[in-house]
Structure 1
C-alpha cells in the first residue's frame, strides 16, 4: 500500500504557513481542520493553509506537497494512531475509539490519493464554491531520469542587512572580466 509523507523541496512552507510540517511526516489532506471555521473570512497564512496545505500528523503543520511512499500495515496503523491522538488532544474528539474511526477514514482517503507510483508528488487546491468546500488534487511526476527538482530558490535575508540590488542592464553592457 502507499501513503503520503510531507516533503519540502524548498523553505517556502516555512514562510507561507503558520506552522510548516517537518519533512517526512505522515500526511492527510486535513480539510477537516477547517470544518467549523468560516473559510471565506480566513486571511494570510491561515488562508494559505486552507487553500494549499496538506496536514502533517506529528506537527499538525502544513505542507504544500506530499510524496507517495510505500508503506506497511504497521505504518498505516501508526498514522491512524497518531492522528487519533491528535483528534483527541487538539480537536476535542469524545473518546479514542471515535477518534480512531475518524482517523482511519482520513488515512484511508489519503491512501486512495496515493494510488500512484512512489515518489509522485501531490498538491491540493481548496476553494469554496456555492458555499461548499471543494478539493482538487494534482500529481507531479518526475521526468524519466531526473531527480526531484527544487521548485523555487529562496534566500533568507536578515532585515538588518542593507538590501542588495543588481543592475542587470549594466552588467549586460559591461565587458566580461578577463576579456581583452
Structure 2
C-alpha cells in the first residue's frame, strides 16, 4: 500500500471526496499527515492533492466530463481499475456524488470528516456557515508570537 501523505490541491481545482483512496488503508499505520489526509482531505482531480475545504461552484458540462476522464485515468493507473470502462464508470460515480453534495449556493464552503468504523470508512460532509455579514465563520485565528 502506498503511504498516505498530504500534497496540496491546486487553487480552483475541482475536487471529489476521494474516500475511495482509503479502501485498503490500515488505520494503525497512519501517522501525522497521513491521518490528516484521511480525516479531512478532499481530493483534487488534477493534482490528486488534498484540500481541507472546498467551495461550491458551478461546473460547466465540458469541464465535468474532463474531470471524469482525468479521474478515470488515475483510477486505472494508480488504483488498479481492471479497464478504462470500469474506471470511467467509477469516476463518473465519484464526480456525480461530489456534484450531489453541492446543493448549496455558489461560494458555500464544505468540509469533510472521516473515521474508521466496523463497517469501513464513515464520511460526513459539513457546511461551513456564513456569518450575518456574509462571510464564512472564523474557524481559526492567527496570533503573533511574543517570543
Fold agreement, TM-score > 0.5:
yes
Distance in 1, matches of 2:65 and 2:131, equals 32
Cα drift, residue 37 of structure 1:
1.6
Backbone CA RMSD of aligned residues: 2.3
Distance in 1, matches of 2:85 and 2:105, equals 32
1:110-167 CA-to-partner distances (Å, cap 9, x unmatched) read 0111111111111011011235211111101323443457754669xxxxxxxx9627
Alignment length (residue pairs): 143
Q: 2:54 aligns to what? A: 66
CA contact (8 A) 1:40 1:128 kept: no
CA contact (8 A) 2:128 2:137 kept: no
Q: 2:115 aligns to what? A: 127
What is the TM-score with the length of structure 1 in the denominator? 0.71
Q: 1:113 aligns to what? A: 101
What is the TM-score with the length of structure 2 in the denominator? 0.85
1:60-84 CA-to-partner distances (Å, cap 9, x unmatched) read 1110001100112112111111101
Distance in 2, matches of 1:41 and 1:131, equals 19
Question: Out of 20, 26, 33, which is 1:38 matched to?
Answer: 26
Change in 2 beyond 3 A, CA 1:145/1:127: same
Distance in 2, matches of 1:32 and 1:24, equals 22
Distance in 2, matches of 1:126 and 1:23, equals 23
Counting only pairs closer than 5 Å after superposition, residues 68-147 of structure 1 correspond to structure 2 as: 68-147=56-135
Is structure 2 residue 146 aligned with structure 1 residue 166?
yes
CA contact (8 A) 2:71 2:91 kept: yes
Gaps of 5+ in 1: 1-16, 156-163, 168-180
Cα drift, residue 21 of structure 1:
0.7
Distance in 2, matches of 1:61 and 1:147, equals 26
Distance in 2, matches of 1:111 and 1:78, equals 14
Say which SS state the counterpart of residue 122 (structure 1) adopts. Answer: strand
Computing the radius of gyration over CA atoms, which structure comes out larger, 1 or 2? 1
Question: Out of 50, 53, 59, which is 2:38 matched to?
Answer: 50
CA contact (8 A) 1:39 1:50 kept: no
